[in-house]
């Protein structure tokens, strides 16, 4: 398994790398376009702001590279938001591979960022959610979110319901941190490693 974690220069790469290594796969952390294109799996992590992350990806000349990937791609936290069309966090155009918009989380008076453990709800029959059981717990840290729509494959509520996981073809996103979500997160990452061509054909 050739798995690449994209080095966006604005992410905690160590925890993601360790989580993948615990599953028996040694990932490569790189910003090299050729290595990313040749990978069997690609993870796009992110910490910080959408504007800074998109600026980094543009400077690295990775925006067209990521958009054209055909293998399974998983965006984590900010990385998920970067897969959408646009983010209110800096009013910035994103990668546009999942038709959605990232808005400030309307948390009905609850403190932001949304930080802590919440359950995944309304999970669909999807490659990433296989075997998770009922209302699995995951760890979130974010102030911006995607509204539920037809690309949503799991939801969470924090003052308002938002998309906890999204998917369009071979592009998958998790608003939470699977690498910090215990057994649930480990299962999601394992599912990602086991995705087949048939899983990404629709």
**What is the C-alpha separation between 27 and 20, in angstroms, rounded?**
7
DSSP states along 164-188: EEEEETTEEEESS-GGGSHHHHHHH
Q: Does domain 3-200 have CATH number 3.40.50.880?
A: yes
179 classed as catalytic: yes
Residue 202: pLDDT band by 50, 70, 90 thresholds?
low
pLDDT for residue 201 is more than 90: no
Place of tokens 């215990």: 182
Contact 129, 153 (CB under 8 A): yes
For residue 46, what pLDDT is reported? 83
Structure token pair of residue 163: 């998309």
Query: Which of 77, 114, 138, 142 is flagged as catalytic?
Result: 77
Whether 142 shows a pLDDT value over 80: the answer reads: yes
Q: pLDDT-based confidence at 196, cuts 50/70/90?
A: confident
Catalytic hit among 10, 94, 114, 177: 177
Give the torsion through C-alpha atoms of 142, 54, 16, 29, to 10 deg. -170
pTM (two decimals): 0.97
Q: What is the pLDDT confidence band of residue 52, given thresholds at 50, 70 and 90?
A: very high
Distances (CA, A) of 140 to 28, 58, 147: 25, 27, 16
Please indicate whether residue 89 is annotated as part of the active site: no
- Give, in order, the Cα–Cα distances in Å from 90 to each of 56, 57, 163: 14, 15, 20
């Amino acid at each position: 398994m050739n798995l690449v974690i994209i080095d966006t220069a604005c992410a905690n790469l160590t925890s993601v790398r360790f989580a993948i290594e615990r599953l028996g796969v040694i990932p490569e952390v790189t910003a090299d376009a050729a290595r990313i294109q040749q990978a069997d799996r690609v993870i796009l992590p992110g910490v910080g702001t959408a504007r800074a992350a998109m600026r980094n990806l543009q400077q690295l000349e990775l925006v067209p590279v990521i958009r054209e990937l055909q293998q399974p791609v998983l965006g984590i936290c900010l990385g998920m938001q970067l897969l959408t069309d646009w983010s209110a966090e800096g009013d910035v155009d994103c990668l546009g591979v999942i038709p959605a918009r990232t808005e400030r989380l309307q948390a009905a008076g609850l403190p932001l960022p949304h930080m802590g453990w919440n359950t995944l709800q309304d999970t669909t029959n999807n490659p990433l959610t296989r075997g998770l059981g009922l209302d699995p717990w995951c760890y979130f840290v974010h102030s911006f979110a995607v509204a539920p729509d037809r690309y949503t494959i799991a939801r969470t509520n924090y003052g308002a319901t938002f998309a906890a996981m999204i998917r369009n073809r071979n592009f998958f996103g998790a608003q939470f941190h699977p690498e910090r979500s215990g057994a649930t997160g480990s299962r999601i990452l394992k599912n990602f490693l086991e995705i087949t061509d048939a899983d990404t054909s629709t």
